[in-house]
Chain A
Amino acid sequence: MLFYSNVSFAAEAVLLGLASGPACLASCGPVLLPWLAAEADGVRGATSRLAVFLGGRLGGYLLFAVGAWALGVAVPVDSHARTLVFGLANLGLAAMLGLSAWPPRGSCRNNAQRANALVQVGEPGRTRPKLALALGFFTGLNLCPPFVAASVRAVETRSLAGALTFFLLFFGGTTVWFVPAVAVSAARRIAEVATVARMTMALLAAYYAYLGAMSVSWGILHAQ
């Protein structure tokens, strides 16, 4: 009986993950897809970067799940604290996207080069793989509706180990949908793709920075 209830528990988590995968990919897409397209390392390199990204995303999920479990509540959907956390996560995401998009400091020697750098926001070939973990982590902290649904179910297991197991299996189910995303890196054959990808990240950094600032302001104002 225990075996069948364990199998049923695992199947539920994986199936929930598989069903939620498209929504998860759509939620993570704005961060993941331009970043995969921007680096110059082909499909194999993109696969390893995706793995690191997903590891960071899992870290974000588990951090929030453990924190919520420690507080003894399911993910508080309407809490001001949640909005504040999202806001800070979005600001972190904006910072990481901005770092990924812009050339490193010191690469422009004069005004002409600096002006050019504004457009060189798409300068290809500047691989910084450590950003993968940070991007994944901040994306993971942005709780999408499938994660909220999974967290409610996970808390019902009444044990931390059970909740973490449920999350890991749910995460595995969603990850299946992320694997085809590495195909985006094949577009690097077209030289301008990296430039466009980095420009996209710069635009998205501005968007997430705005979202983060508004959420943090709202969270602080309403917490008082």
Chain B
Amino acid sequence: MPNEPKSKPRAVRTVSRSALLTLPMALFGLLMFSRTLALPGAAAKMAGLAAWLFMAGLFFFMMRTFETYRWRRIFFVTLGFLFPVGFIWDLISLRSSMSIPIEKMLSGDTPFCFLVIPMTIIPAALTKTIIFPGSILPTASNPHAIATMVALWVLATLVLGKAWCSFGCFFGGLEEGFSALAKKARINKINPRWRLVPWAVLAAIVLLSAATFEPTYCRWLCPFKTVTEYPEVRSVETAIQAGIFLSLFSGLVVVLPVLTKRRTQCAFFCPFGAFQSLFNKITAFDIRIDRDKCADCVSCQNSCPTLALDKDSIGRGKTLLACMKCGACVDVCHKGAAVWHVKGTAPNASPERARLLYLYGAWAFATMFGGDIIASSLQKLFGLVV
């Protein structure tokens, strides 16, 4: 966490009680990883077992320590680094290259990425066409079809809202990992207006995609092309695009997170994060600040990876719309003022019950989606040695 003061030691839950609370998640995880465990070969079985133990183990520690952020971060950073490993592995083994051949676009074999979703809405509403070279339904050559990914996104949005950025996004863990590297932040003062840039990027790409019927963000602005796939550099235009992708990745995902200890790409650029913020109002959970207990030490504000707390919002007892419900502020608060909360209930009504309900949904989603990606990537890595 950025600028984190030492938190007061908390009580821990007993091992037996923690295990009991972990049991439903462990069983769910076993079900999710059973497909990987059933695959032939030692590598698949090892990967399935490792992923299951990993997810169940982290949940156990969340239960035992009453803390969320640092255990969630271990999962999220692992996902962020393993996803590109598995993805690039598949590209190299199939095509010997990370560049997208036009043949793949014409045949509908490009896997659908959630970042495209905001850009597809207006063209789909006007003409019933999806402006992406994928396939609508899953096929043998493209299991990551549009219907599957949109189903995942709708589920995540209902369950998590913007907590997608803490439990679902397979890119965010990269910068979260880099933000944890330095002991202290070199840049502490950040103009809060930079938080509005993701909304401007979202507006620009949605409007341009509706005008041009092409996914503008993918063509021009996605930093994560650097670690996934990109159009081959064969012209001035594609060279400029590659330059933009590399600059955004190295600046926003690597350098600035190290210097600021914040998730700078998420906080100051990602249009999908802004899009998900719109849905934060419809989920059942949020984080509240109990004004009676709050000491105005602003530890919560300093710990937030995405600047979703400021003096005004703390004064109102709430986080800003950009809150991705990662738990950093809750875990750092000495006074127990920052708490998990179920909407509709009293502000300080049973925070641990709220946290448990939230985590059962969020971790189930993380197991189903991110856990599967981790298992798949581990299978490839283990295949090198067994």
Contacts and interface: CB of A to CB of B under 8 A. Distances in A.
B203 A34 contact: yes
Interface string A126-154: 00000000000000000000000000000
Contact of A22 (B126, B193, B200, B204): B126
Nearest to B123: A26
B201 A122 contact: no
A200 interface: yes
Which of A27, A199, A207 has the most B CB atoms < 10 Å from its CB?
A199
A39 B109 CA distance: 44
B234 to A, nearest CB: 15
| Interface residue range, chain B | 20 to 34
B46 interface: no
Interface centre among B122, B199, B204 (most CB of A within 10 A): B204
Interface stretch (B205-213, B323-331, B377-385): B205-213
A140 B220 CA distance: 25
A200 B237 contact: no
Interface stretch (A2-10, A48-56, A190-198): A190-198
A207 B204 contact: yes
A199 B200 contact: yes
Main secondary structure on B side of the interface with A: helix
A33 B122 CA distance: 14
A116 interface: yes
A76 interface: no
A119 interface: yes
Interface of A: 22, 26-30, 33-34, 116, 119-120, 122, 192, 195-197, 199-200, 202-204, 207, 210, 214
26 contacts: A26-B210, A26-B211, A29-B207, A29-B210, A30-B204, A33-B207, A34-B207, A116-B191, A119-B193, A119-B194, A120-B193, A122-B193, A122-B196, A192-B196, A195-B196, A196-B196, A196-B200, A196-B203, A197-B200, A197-B203, A199-B199, A199-B200, A200-B200, A203-B200, A204-B208, A214-B237
Given A28-B211, A29-B210, A214-B237, 16 more contacts: A26-B210, A34-B203, A122-B200, A192-B199, A195-B193, A196-B196, A197-B200, A197-B203, A199-B199, A200-B207, A203-B200, A203-B204, A204-B207, A207-B216, A207-B220, A210-B240
